[in-house]
Amino acid sequence: MKKLIALICAVLVMGTSARAVEVAAPSALLMEKETGTVLFAKDEHAKLEPASVTKVMTLLLAMEAIDSGQLSYDTVITASAHACSMGGSQIWLKENEQMTVEDMLKAVCVVSANDCAVALAEQIAGSEDAFVERMNQRAKELGMNDTTFKNACGLPAEGHVTSAYDIALMSRELILNHPDIRQYTTIWMDTLRNGQSQLVNTNKLVRFYEGATGLKTGSTDSALYCLSGTAERDGMELIAVIMKDATSAQRFEDAKTLLSYGFSAYALKNVTPETPLPPVPVTLGTQATVQPVLGEGGSLLLEKSKAGDLQQSVTLAESVEAPVAKGDVLGALTVTSGGAAVAEIPLLAGEEVPRVTYGQMLLRLLQTAFLSD
């Protein structure tokens, strides 16, 4: 078998109902970042307008472009007439005005600047239309089956829709794999243009909710009030998505309700073997043993009542026959709480062990014969 990718992330015992709390928003979802576990859902696949929460995908593609070397934080972008024509939330870019990627990211994260979002899109893909194609392709790759993007900033457009579930998916991808985005999403107040432009975050959680890490607000007359709100406490980060709330204040209250519920009811535990894993014998291999390693799934999301007294046991194969591929399953680490299993994490081959050839086998026999003499 090839290397397993989260074959068994966790067998979670979730006795607490995912509807133990209620929110006013018609569509909402609470997700834990590390495992992707959904802790609360309310009409989470309803296809609704996301407004500027759209920019989570724009930010994701921008951060991926930085990671790939296509952009750097110091890259200077020249604003086009198209980018400057966006309207709505903006920092009033002038045509041909130049600004670094870092400052544009700050403007998008803090004040939801449509002009900067489109300028970034054009820099990355050559045009907003080409960038939107990338947005939709990335959405497919992430399993965002409720989503169709029509622009890079979230201004109203026919058919521009997503869902609370899909927003959680792209938000998770952004904060899980691009934690540097926090340097912008956690800003409460800042400036641009050498202090001439004042910025105040549209996300009130950043100022008023303990542990808030972001992420993106959105509102239009048709979308009403939306939010992807993230926060971290005790090493666990949660994503609360609120869609189509009646007021701005209500979306923040709903997000706080979900986040506080998650933090009060669940804990994230990182599991590692208590003792070193012994090597597993290999028959007919180019080496005698193969070293097992813990597979993906060592982060366990548990009810707090079950997270305090965890025990573990290891089961390994007595031996395996070559060839052994890196990532082959050699056993499992079982985690229990109160005698009940809460997770089974695969133990995988940490290296490849090819099968010996006939020539190698003959050489071994000859070496054995000479040594015995």
Rounded Cα–Cα distance for residues 13 and 98 (Å): 53
Structure tokens at 78: 């020249």
Cα(277)–Cα(291) distance, integer angstroms: 8
User: Could you give phi then psi for residue 320, rounded to 5 degrees?
Assistant: -135, 155
Type and span of the H or E element at 311:
strand 310-316
Nearest in space to 165 (alpha carbons), one of 41, 251, 256: 41
3-state DSSP assignment of residue 115: helix
Q: Are 365 and 356 in contact (CB under 8 A)?
A: no
> Is 10 in contact with 297 (CB distance < 8 Å)?
yes
Which amino acid belongs to residue 70?
A: Q
Q: Measured over all CA atoms, what is the biggest interatomic distance in the chain, rounded to whole angstroms? A: 91
Handedness of CA 120, 157, 111, 50 (dihedral sign): negative
Q: What distance, in Å, lies between the first and last C-alpha atoms of the chain? A: 41
Residue with tokens 């012994």: 278
Q: Which residue has the tokens 């979308």?
A: 223
**H helix runs in the chain, sequence order:** 55-68, 81-84, 101-111, 114-125, 128-141, 164-177, 182-185, 205-208, 248-265, 358-372
Are 133 and 152 in contact by the 8 Å Cβ rule? The answer is no
Sheet holding 292-294, edge to edge: 292-294, 340-349, 329-337, 310-316
Known catalytic residues are: 52, 55, 112
Contact 38, 111 (CB under 8 A): no
Asked if residues 111 and 192 have their Cβ atoms less than 8 Å apart, the reply is no
Q: CB-based burial of residue 367 (10 Å sphere; 0-12 exposed, 13-18 middle, 19+ buried)?
A: exposed
